Amino acid sequence: MGGQETYHSFIDFEHPYFYTAGSRLTLFADKKRWAIVFEKSGYGNRSYQGEIELSYFGNCLTNFHSPADLPDMTSNVKWVTLITDKELQRLSEDSGDLVSKNVQKIRVRDSILDIEHDKKVYEKNAIQIRSFDNPDSLIDVPSLVRYLQEQHPNLFFATDNELRECVPSDLPMLMHIDQWHHKTYSRDKHMTSPTDFTYEIDGTSPNEYETYKIIADILVSKNISLWKPSLKPNNNWRNWPHGGEL
């Protein structure tokens, strides 16, 4: 890393700049190396794009580049664009994050998908359409992205090449985990002087509960049959209602 400051973050289902839609974990390992890729798709309300956020952890990771606006830092996070900001601007017709009823199609990656405008369809799928500042009851972009992710999940998951952007190409992939029990965790550096700092911990460390203890056992043994969690899965975005709320 050449002495650079690291900016490494854990997956956050309630990040204020991101409306999560889908999520997944992918495990890689051989006798000496291991990697975990945390994956969440959704709508970035700052980037104004549909995208996948990939967070990498492991002992063999490569290709960590500094964000363009932070040349003295490296990050374990990569992004994959699913729906461009230009495409979303075409849908909204100057209505912000609301989808015009005159638009019937949307491009996700290289696929053209139908836009569902019936509010009742979203309600049936427990997707709550935005009510504030929406007098015409238009479908909002975060709800549309969440609906499309559930209808076309493969388009909203990272490809093997995308997952491996920071993972060695010869490292075996062990398994995908689509459902798991997750707890919030963050560790933020707090500067107490120009040269000294402490870490502020929020939430539950991953090594304190079952999910990541089992994952650690799988990475060591390479035995995917060990994935038999007893904790109820909660990584669905509906269990994290404050994602995207500034």
pLDDT digit string, tens, across residues 159-193: 999 999 999 999 999 999 999 999 999 877 777 77
- Residue 137 pLDDT exceeds 70: yes
pLDDT for the residue numbered 186: 84
- At residue 96 the predicted structure's pLDDT band, cuts being 50, 70 and 90, is confident
The model carries a pTM of 0.90
pLDDT at 4: 43
5 or 137: whose pLDDT is higher?
137
Rounded to an integer, what distance in angstroms lies between the CA atom of residue 123 and that of residue 116?
A: 12
- At residue 6 the predicted structure's pLDDT band, cuts being 50, 70 and 90, is low
Q: At 223, phi and psi to the nearest 5? A: -100, 100
Residue 1 pLDDT grade (very low, low, confident, very high; cuts 50, 70, 90): very low
Mean pLDDT across the stretch 3-17? 77
Residue 55 confidence (pLDDT) above 50: yes
Integer angstrom CA distances of residue 149 from 143, 171, 174, 186: 10, 28, 24, 27
Average pLDDT, the chain: 91
> Around Cβ 21, how many Cβ atoms within 10 Å?
27
Any idea which of 91-100, 130-139, 147-156, 167-176 has the lowest mean pLDDT?
Answer: 91-100
